[in-house]
Amino acid sequence: MPDTPTRYDGLLAAMPASMAGGAAAGWWSTAPLAAGLGLGSAVAAAFVAVSLFVVPPVPSRG
Name the region of 6 (left: φ>0; alpha: ψ -120 to 50; beta: rest): beta
pLDDT above 80 for 17: yes
Chain mean pLDDT for the chain: 87
pLDDT tens profile 3-13: 788 888 888 89
10 Å CB burial of residue 6 (0-12, 13-18, 19+) is exposed
| Domain locations along the chain | 7-54
Instruction: Please give the pLDDT value at position 62.
Output: 62
Q: Is pLDDT at 49 greater than 70 in this prediction?
A: yes
Judged against a pLDDT cut of 90, whether residue 42 lies above it is answered with yes
58 vs 54: CA distance, rounded Å? 12
